């Protein structure tokens, strides 16, 4: 049973954290284990500071450092005011992507390499979705002929959810997380790189062709059509934004 929002969990006494140089990191892991094992939903308040200090057998400074680590990683937020405290929040692909960009920045990974990774991943996701015969994708697609492709907002609403839907229907949550986070990183740094109006109807038609192949279980066609589609988009981005390709991905900070 899920924990109601703003409720504080009551469970077995956590394991005492051994004292050492990395007490805060060990405590952060224990808190994550608690969130997972007790299925604490977004909006759930963790126990008050005094209770957690006693339960885990640590000092206040170590607890506060552990909570800061979790806050930086987007696992909790500090709710202010009466009855406030550390609160579990929704962890999404953007949080994972933001954390990944620190390592991308340090490794000197470029946008060209990010695009290449998407060219590898997304066709595989389409194949996996087809192997599962994810027929539910069909109902989410707009009719290409009824979408006002000249209107940026209307086109974005019609096209943007498609790749995320395919990823979610692949049946592999790890690939889903990684694939969508790469898209999040791309969009965060360059914005919505929309296809030109004269190509938009074609894009929507290709989306429907991929969805039809997925629904019919034709994995080869789904993979090949997605690969061609992503290659076409990648070529367009490279032609339109050549200066972007060699640029190192910056650490995506919150601010």
Distance CA 226, CA 126 (A): 7
Q: Clarify whether residues 59 and 124 are in a common domain.
A: no
In a domain, 191, yes or no: yes
Domain boundary among 65, 88, 111: 88
Residue 107, Cβ neighbours under 10 Å: how many? Answer: 11
Q: Clarify whether residues 146 and 80 are in a common domain.
A: no
- So what's the pLDDT on residue 2? 45
* pLDDT tens figures, 197-227: 888 889 999 999 999 999 999 999 999 999 9
**What CATH number did the domain enclosing 121 receive?**
1.20.120
Residues of the chain above pLDDT 70, percent: 89
Q: Clarify whether residues 31 and 156 are in a common domain.
A: no
On the 0-12 / 13-18 / 19+ scale of CB atoms within 10 A, 146 is exposed
Q: Clarify whether residues 83 and 107 are in a common domain.
A: no
Given a cut of 50, whether residue 21 has pLDDT beyond it is no
Distance CA 41, CA 24 (A): 23
* Segments forming the whole domain that contains residue 140: 94-244
- Tally the domains of the chain: 2
Given a cut of 50, whether residue 190 has pLDDT beyond it is yes
Q: Clarify whether residues 78 and 151 are in a common domain.
A: no
Q: Clarify whether residues 62 and 156 are in a common domain.
A: no
In a domain, 180, yes or no: yes
| Contacts of 146 by beta carbon, 8 Å cutoff, 6+ apart | none
In a domain, 166, yes or no: yes
CB burial string 30-46: b at 16+ within 10 A, e below: bbbebbeebebeeebbb
Task: Please tell me the pTM assigned to this model.
Answer: 0.79
Q: Clarify whether residues 130 and 50 are in a common domain.
A: no
Average pLDDT, the chain: 87
* pLDDT tens figures, 113-155: 999 999 999 999 999 999 998 777 777 776 767 777 778 888 8
Domain boundary among 88, 104, 133: 88
Structure-token pair, residue 222? 């789904």
**What CATH number did the domain enclosing 56 receive?**
1.10.10.10
Q: Clarify whether residues 144 and 180 are in a common domain.
A: yes
């Amino acid at each position: 049973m899920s924990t109601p929002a703003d409720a504080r969990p009551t469970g077995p006494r956590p394991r005492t954290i051994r004292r050492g140089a990395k007490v805060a990191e060990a405590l952060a892991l224990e808190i994550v284990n608690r969130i997972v094992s007790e299925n604490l939903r977004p909006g759930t308040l963790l126990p008050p500071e005094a209770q957690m200090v006693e339960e885990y057998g640590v000092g206040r400074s170590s607890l506060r450092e552990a909570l800061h680590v979790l806050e930086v990683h987007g696992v909790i937020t500090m709710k202010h005011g009466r009855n406030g405290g550390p609160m579990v929040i929704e962890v999404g692909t953007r949080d994972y992507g933001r954390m990944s960009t620190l390592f991308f920045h340090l490794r000197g990974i470029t946008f060209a390499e990010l695009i290449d990774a998407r060219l590898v991943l997304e066709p595989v996701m389409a194949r996996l979705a087809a192997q599962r015969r994810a027929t539910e994708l069909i109902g989410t697609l707009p009719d290409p002929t009824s979408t006002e492709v000249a209107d940026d907002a209307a086109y974005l609403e019609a096209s943007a959810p498609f790749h995320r839907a395919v990823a979610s229907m692949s049946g592999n949550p790890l690939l889903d997380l990684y694939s969508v986070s790469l898209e999040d990183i791309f969009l965060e740094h360059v914005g919505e790189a929309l296809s030109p109006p004269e190509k938009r109807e074609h894009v929507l038609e290709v989306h429907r062709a991929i969805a039809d192949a997925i629904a019919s279980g034709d994995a080869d066609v789904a993979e090949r059509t997605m690969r061609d589609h992503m290659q076409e988009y990648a070529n367009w981005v490279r032609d339109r934004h050549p200066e972007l390709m060699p640029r190192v991905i910056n650490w995506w900070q919150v601010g």
